[in-house]
Chains A and B, each alone.
Chain A
Amino acid sequence: MARVVVDVMPKPEILDVQGQAVHRALVRLGISGISDVRQGKHFELEVDDTVDDETLHKVAGELLANPVIEDWVVTRV
């Protein structure tokens, strides 16, 4: 068994209104020095040794992320 992490983020050109709202809340908290926030998703998968990288990329690209609006990174940890 191994742990695999998939991080999914909105593509750079996508207006991330949720990230913007988080950023505005930081400003209201009086925290300075943070110029931008983008919000994504973090998945942790428990994977047995028979699952190859190709399958993991398929899982990420076909279900965990929507390639129209999101980029993803698969990492074995």
Chain B
Amino acid sequence: MTRVGVITFPGTLDDGDAARAVRRAGGEPVALWHADSDLQGVAAVIVPGGFSYGDYLRAGAIASMAPIMQSVIDAARVGMPVLGICNGFQILCEAGLLPGALLRNAGLHFVCRDQRLRIETTATPWTRDFSVGDEIVVPVKNIDGRYHADAATLQRLEAENRVVFRYAGGNPNGSLNDIAGVCSEDGRVVGLMPHPEHAIDELTGPSTDGLGLFRSLLGVLAAA
């Protein structure tokens, strides 16, 4: 069974749901601890949401320096798939694995709602099972979700088709170009603010759309 790591930092909240999503999709979640540097032979890593280190300094800044993150950075550089969700996206930006930064929401409110997202590329291991233009509904819940990158970086992301998810039906936080998620140059590192791991079960989520990300990953790894 494919082993997928899920990192827990002090202040992580969504590691349980991320592990559950991996299991539901047919994989084996492996708990990874922030202070370790051993990735335990996992084939991919999820950096889940929460408020690592209390969001001190900047959201994700301190977590990006944790020992486990150096191992994740090294593995990502040689193609290991990584998914950062919410605080995990912020951590991947702070770690330099993804371009840009996440700023305080334009409305200053903590936004918690079900959010429509449009899939903009299927050229990542996390979105391969979707079609471009598909819309999914997953929860969004954050206060620092406003995606920002300088004009040249934005232009490059758009030109290289590296915007993976875009807000549909209203931008919740003032993100530039309605960007909800982006990927690395090789497409294997993806980060997004909304929470696919909270949308895997009709009982507890607005849809089961989020499962598509985890199934995509496991399909890609099984075929490799």
- What bracket does the count of chain B residues touching chain A fall in? 10 to 19
Interface of B is mostly: loop
Verify if B219 is at the interface (C-beta below 8 Å from A).
no
Interfacial residues of chain B within 70-101, with CB under 8 A of chain A in the complex: 93-94, 99-101
Quick check: B108 and A69 within 8 Å, CB to CB? no
Interface size of A by CB at 8 A reads 10
Verify if B104 is at the interface (C-beta below 8 Å from A).
yes
Which of B58, B93, B108 is close to A21, meaning CB atoms less than 8 Å apart?
Answer: B108
Specify which chain B residues have a CB less than 8 angstroms from the CB of A21 in the assembled complex.
108
Verify if A66 is at the interface (C-beta below 8 Å from B).
yes
Verify if A34 is at the interface (C-beta below 8 Å from B).
no
* Chain A positions 19 through 46: 1 when the CB is less than 8 Å from some CB of chain B, otherwise 0: 0010000000000000000000000000
Quick check: B58 and A66 within 8 Å, CB to CB? yes
Which of A17, A64, A66, A68 is close to B105, meaning CB atoms less than 8 Å apart?
Answer: A17
Specify which chain A residues have a CB less than 8 angstroms from the CB of B103 in the assembled complex.
14-15, 17, 69
